Amino acid sequence: MNTLVLEEQVPVSEPDLVSGELASRIAYLEQQSQTLLESMRYAGSLQRSILPNERIFRNIFSDAFVIFQPKDIVSGDFYWIFQHHDDIYFAVGDCTGHGVPGAMVNIAGNALLRQIIRLEGLSDPAKIVALLDSELTSLFNEHLTEGTTRDGMDLVFCKFNLSQMKGSFCGAGRPLILVRDGELVEFRKGPDAIGHASKETKEFETIHFGLQKGDQFYLFSDGYTDQFGGENVKKFNRQRFRNLLISIRDFELREQRKELLLNYNNWRGKQEQVDDICVVGIRI
């Protein structure tokens, strides 16, 4: 008579169960992280696709360069140019924060600017900036059930007419730098930024000036000047930036770009990049 022998079942210990669940959870989170990273990379490529090619600046002006270096995959900074009849409109914007929140404001502002000029028919920089302020504030607050968002941007906005050699500028929280005949002039940034504000009325002013052959203009976000580094780990700061621009004023703009990046990287050293960086230089 055959005797049935039952194989003894070895119980799975509780630590083994916990270990298996943990490994499964880690694998799930890694997959989610990879999916999010791929989405961010795609969003970054979409954002870069709406930014103008540096060649557009070089084709319009005597010479030009663009430095665009996001802190994250997507950026809160942007640069923009649009030619309408004989007028050239161009700008650098520094949106609230960086990463995804900044990129959302970035794309909205980029799209609204062209619409304001083409559809609304405005040409004065201060009026364009004021309408952008109104539209952007409304866009991000119209459907909120309570409170207001604090989304917005600092913007340096220019209009140049090269046939008449006339220029104009409106600074909404950002200045414009001109280097002419070895001297540096900084046009004031204006007291108000675009978007959320604690006061009801804002002041946007258009500053007019003549253009001269050889003039060099610089539009920039605060990412370059706010970078920490150096021996004492301090901000690069605006004065050091102005001194650097004066020191490289006789270089071709392509070489100026290299010098700006070299000085930035030397200053930063091993410090983390603190913000998005955008610098545009043009020569008349």
In this prediction, residue 143 has a pLDDT band, given cuts at 50, 70 and 90, of: very low
Instruction: Answer whether residue 48 is part of any domain.
Output: no
What is the average per-residue pLDDT within 122-134?
93
| pLDDT tens digits for range 54-85 | 999 999 999 999 999 988 877 888 999 999 88
Residue 87 has pLDDT above 70, yes or no: yes
Q: pLDDT higher for 254 or 203?
A: 254
User: Is 120 in a helix, a strand, or coil?
Assistant: coil
Question: What is the predicted pLDDT for the residue at 164?
Answer: 97
Instruction: Answer whether residue 19 is part of any domain.
Output: no
Give CA–CA dist 47/198, Å, rounded: 30
- Cα torsion for 55, 60, 64, 65, to the nearest 10°? -40
Question: What is the predicted pLDDT for the residue at 145?
Answer: 41
Where is average pLDDT lowest: 49-53, 90-94, 120-124, 189-193? 49-53
For the chain, percent of residues with pLDDT exceeding 70: 80
Among residues 151, 195, 144, 193, which one has the least CA distance to residue 170? Answer: 193
Instruction: Answer whether residue 24 is part of any domain.
Output: no
Q: What is the CATH number of the domain that holds 92?
A: 3.60.40.10
User: Tokens at residue 226, please?
Assistant: 């706010």
In this prediction, residue 9 has a pLDDT band, given cuts at 50, 70 and 90, of: low
In this prediction, residue 210 has a pLDDT band, given cuts at 50, 70 and 90, of: very high
Where is average pLDDT lowest: 43-52, 67-76, 130-139, 228-237? 43-52
Question: What is the predicted pLDDT for the residue at 168?
Answer: 97
Residue 146 has pLDDT above 70, yes or no: no
Chain-wide mean pLDDT for the chain? Answer: 85
Among residues 167, 158, 157, which one has the least CA distance to residue 212? Answer: 167
Give CA–CA dist 69/277, Å, rounded: 5
User: Tokens at residue 110, please?
Assistant: 């980029």
Instruction: Answer whether residue 49 is part of any domain.
Output: no
Return the beta strands (E) in 70-182 as ranges.
Answer: 77-84, 87-95, 152-161, 166-172, 176-180
Instruction: Answer whether residue 235 is part of any domain.
Output: yes
Instruction: Answer whether residue 218 is part of any domain.
Output: yes
Where is average pLDDT lowest: 137-151, 176-190, 242-256? 137-151
Domains in the chain, number: 1
What is the average per-residue pLDDT within 248-253?
97
Give CA–CA dist 95/270, Å, rounded: 26
For the chain, percent of residues with pLDDT exceeding 90: 55
Cβ of 74: how many Cβ atoms within 10 Å?
A: 25
Residue 101 has pLDDT above 70, yes or no: no
In this prediction, residue 144 has a pLDDT band, given cuts at 50, 70 and 90, of: very low
Instruction: Using the Cα atoms of residue 112, residue 281, residue 223 and residue 43 in order, give the sign of their dihedral.
Output: positive
Question: What is the predicted pLDDT for the residue at 7?
Answer: 55
Q: Which ranges in the chain belong to alpha helices (H)? A: 14-50, 54-60, 99-119, 125-141, 238-247, 253-268
Domain limits for position 186: 55-283
Question: What is the predicted pLDDT for the residue at 236?
Answer: 97
What is the average per-residue pLDDT within 84-108?
79
Question: What is the predicted pLDDT for the residue at 182?
Answer: 93
Instruction: Answer whether residue 118 is part of any domain.
Output: yes
Question: What is the predicted pLDDT for the residue at 191?
Answer: 85
Instruction: Answer whether residue 30 is part of any domain.
Output: no
